[in-house]
Structure 1
């Protein structure tokens, strides 16, 4: 069920005319359109171990808590915070991406129920869909290949495609807006994700709809606190929201 839109501004997505005017939809991948079953934490454990962080230690627990809190952020940015030195951050990031890629190739991911159908419905309605991620390009491509989604949408973006800054910065949303030319104004853009960082990136970009989904890292309270204009059970409800269907 589509949950209540929070904005009281008459120009907000609560107005059906605004919601149905969305021309570009920027969708997160892991946790939003892709179920990865906790692979981020498993890959982090591998990366941390390579840098000498002992599983079960207080240091490991503290770092894992930070990884959980910053789900959606560019992974290299997370490792820069955790390990400080650039060489260590790069080592950790490379180990993480390698471990995650191997897990993906092992068949441990799947589409969120109804995600592919929702993307098809959005496309059939004349909206352009872009998929974004906080992972590196090699990992994003591995996910797309594992799902058979290489040709599902006209554009996929990772932080490196937008100057290196991932979420919570608005750069990938703005890059999608500029590259696709699908919308005339940023109010015609919808940003959808499962983390507070996804919400912040949409708000900072000036997107007309910033929708959280409850299939990933963060819950209703965190998503709304970060600026979600709507919270959905899953991305499968997004086409209905953009048709202006209320609760």
Structure 2
């Protein structure tokens, strides 16, 4: 170990379930997409597919649809229908920030940290959410799977892309990742982030997050600045 101190200046935050309230929008959009592909509502197939969507919250949506529908053509049709339905829900005013999310991001940036917002959605959906919330200029950078070579979580690609594009830290261990799903946690750990915080405002509970390797678990994203302040002075 060297006698260096933490310089936790790169903060990579998930959106839906972590900084943005989901309130079942993903499930509603999925049900629309499934219907478009002939999955009968109320059927055992529908129930099984919906449960898989719940279990894989945080994963790239196109990856989820590839698993559910088998072929690339069907996956892309499902993903297109999903994105359209989700955008309509966003346009209908059914998206909101989680408590303290905007203030937390503003606080982190005011403290000199670089904040990156990531998502498993396509860019068009991410932009629709950012526009609906008035968040276009809130973070330093926003990333979707396509911005990182096409692979979403649990791959480390978006975290590593944030590291490379921002140049905010010299050591990936000085990166902080926070998210509400095991996929966020796995992505952060696989990227080598020093702090990987699970957040209890979304899809997965404390046991799932700690089981995936979360270094910390927060009740909400508003707790993040207070977590980081004393860690900045600790040796790496």
Query: Taking structure 2 as the reference length, what is the TM-score of the superposition?
Result: 0.95
Look up the match of 2:181.
195
Look up the match of 1:144.
130
2:34 matches 1:42: no
2:82 matches 1:96: yes
Once the two structures are superposed, what CA deviation does each residue of 1:218-242 show, in whole Å capped at 9, x if it has no partner? Answer: 0000000111000000000000000
Look up the match of 2:113.
127
- C-alpha distance in structure 2 between counterparts of 1:107 and 1:42, whole Å: 14
Look up the match of 2:60.
74
- C-alpha distance in structure 2 between counterparts of 1:26 and 1:143, whole Å: 17
Partner SS, residue 49 of structure 2 = helix
Contact 2:185–2:213 at 8 Å: present in 1 too? yes
Look up the match of 2:46.
60
2:224 matches 1:238: yes
Contact 2:22–2:202 at 8 Å: present in 1 too? no
- C-alpha distance in structure 1 between counterparts of 2:40 and 2:85, whole Å: 17
- C-alpha distance in structure 2 between counterparts of 1:217 and 1:163, whole Å: 25
* Cα shift at 1:244: 2.0
Look up the match of 1:221.
207
- Gaps of at least 5 residues in structure 2 are 232-236
Which of the numbers 151, 160, 168 marks the counterpart of 2:154? 168
- C-alpha distance in structure 1 between counterparts of 2:16 and 2:40, whole Å: 26
* Cα shift at 1:22: 0.5
Look up the match of 1:208.
194
Look up the match of 2:234.
none
* Cα shift at 1:153: 1.1
2:94 matches 1:108: yes
- Gaps of at least 5 residues in structure 1 are 1-9, 12-16
Runs of 4 or more, structure 1, over 2 Å off, are: none
2:15 matches 1:25: no
Q: Size of the alignment, in residue pairs?
A: 229
RMSD, aligned CA: 1.2
- C-alpha distance in structure 2 between counterparts of 1:244 and 1:200, whole Å: 24
